[in-house]
Chains A and B, each alone.
Chain A
Amino acid sequence: MMLANVDVQEYLPFLIPLIILQFVLLFIALRHILTHDTYKRGSRKLWLLITIVGMEFIGPILYFALGKEDE
């Protein structure tokens, strides 16, 4: 499957905000993991792995839904 004939320029208005949002979410999740010692379930290594591997939104969202302790 090639997307060679797709004009990237046309999709930039979609891509730029999505990429920015993705990194903002990743940054918040990583900061939260590193500044907390206990989690609802799992360990720091597990959550770092999940957040970085699934950095396209799904990792940080999983962390905030399942791993973050209620404050």
Chain B
Amino acid sequence: MRQLKAFIKKEWMEQFRTNKLLIIMIVSVMMGIMAPAVAKLTPVLFETMADTLAEQGIAGIEVGDVTALTSWQQFYKNISMLVIVFVIMYSGSYTTEYQRGTLINIVTKGMSRTKILVSKLLVQLVVWTMAYVVNFVTTYVYTEYYWDNSEVKNCIFAGVMVYIFGIWVIGLMTLASSIGDTNMSVLLITGGVVAVCYILSIVPDVAEYMPTKLLGAVELLNGAVDVETYAKATIVVVMTYLMTIIGSVLCFNKKRI
């Protein structure tokens, strides 16, 4: 327990010393502001560009009423960017330690490898939770200020779906880190798996089971889709998440570091 605490503390300090936490917080606040800002500005932009567009023969673009829904749609358009930024920032969490050999000392002194993995995973989960909550709350507050959140259905539930997707990606990244040796291989494996999920989602029957379905939670907001349709994908996400964690513990224990 003491070893685990010490390693978690080391990981947590690293977040501050390398400015990682600060940068991801700034990015998430920025993206939280951008969603309602874009929703607010779009009709103004169309208005000012109406003459230019008319000259080019583009006419009759109707900008519907901007509501809280527009703001949330922007939020879900941008949210995959936050996941990508997170993955890029944390893809080197293990691999830089492999390359610089900083884990060798700790492991030879008797620290179990599972504890290293668990503490890194915990810290990443905490950072993801903080970044996502900050992003979500910023958009929520602005949307409440300019419009009215009560007209958006399943607001919190849709948010939780994307949050779970982020956790799943972290699990994937951990597995990739316990297989690959370089930063690039981690990015490629993680990105590759997500890309395969996207491609498989073309088949409608399969799409219901794909983790990437959770990223499309925006369709819940206008109440067109029932909450229950996400049950299958959520179960798949939870199962595959547990499998990636068990798999990464097994791979990491055999890994040459």
Interface, chain A (partner B; CB < 8 A): 1-3, 6, 11, 13-14, 17-18, 21, 24-25, 28, 32, 57, 61, 64-65, 70-71
Interface, chain B (partner A; CB < 8 A): 17-19, 22-23, 26-27, 29-30, 33, 36-37, 40-41, 44, 48-49, 52, 88, 92, 96, 142, 145
Asked if B92 and A3 sit within 8 Å, CB to CB, the answer is: no
Given A14-B36, A64-B19, A70-B96, is A57 in contact with B48 using a C-beta cutoff of 8 Å? no
Measured between alpha carbons, how far is A21 from B22 in the docked complex, in Å?
Answer: 11
Asked if A2 and B48 sit within 8 Å, CB to CB, the answer is: yes
Tell me what chain B mostly uses at the interface: helix, strand, loop, or mixed: helix
Asked if B29 and A14 sit within 8 Å, CB to CB, the answer is: no
Asked if B49 and A21 sit within 8 Å, CB to CB, the answer is: no
Asked if A1 and B23 sit within 8 Å, CB to CB, the answer is: no
Asked if B22 and A28 sit within 8 Å, CB to CB, the answer is: yes
Chain B residues near A14: list those with CB within 8 A: 33, 36-37, 40, 142
Q: Which residue of A lies closest to B25 (CB)?
A: A21
- Shortest CB–CB separation between residue B242 and chain A, in angstroms? 31
13 sampled A-B residue pairs with Cβ under 8 A = A1-B49, A11-B37, A14-B37, A14-B40, A18-B30, A25-B26, A28-B23, A61-B23, A61-B27, A64-B19, A70-B92, A71-B17, A71-B18
Measured between alpha carbons, how far is A18 from B30 in the docked complex, in Å?
Answer: 7
Measured between alpha carbons, how far is A64 from B20 in the docked complex, in Å?
Answer: 9
Q: Which residue of B lies closest to A64 (CB)?
A: B23
Q: Which residue of B lies closest to A16 (CB)?
A: B33
Asked if A21 and B18 sit within 8 Å, CB to CB, the answer is: no
- Shortest CB–CB separation between residue B54 and chain A, in angstroms? 13
Given A14-B37, A28-B19, A64-B19, is A1 in contact with B96 using a C-beta cutoff of 8 Å? no
Chain B residues near A11: list those with CB within 8 A: 37, 40-41
Measured between alpha carbons, how far is A3 from B92 in the docked complex, in Å?
Answer: 44
Asked if A17 and B33 sit within 8 Å, CB to CB, the answer is: yes
Other A-B contacts than A21-B29, A64-B23, 20 sampled, CB-CB below 8 A, are: A1-B48, A3-B44, A3-B48, A6-B44, A13-B142, A13-B145, A14-B37, A14-B40, A18-B33, A18-B37, A21-B30, A25-B23, A28-B22, A32-B19, A57-B30, A61-B23, A61-B27, A64-B19, A65-B88, A71-B17
Q: Which residue of A lies closest to B20 (CB)?
A: A64
Q: Which 5 A-B residue pairs are closest in the complex by CB-CB distance? A: A14-B37, A70-B96, A1-B48, A25-B26, A21-B26
- Shortest CB–CB separation between residue B19 and chain A, in angstroms? 6
Chain A residues near B23: list those with CB within 8 A: 25, 28, 61, 64
Q: For B23, B92, B96, which residue has the most chain A Cβ atoms within 10 angstroms?
A: B23
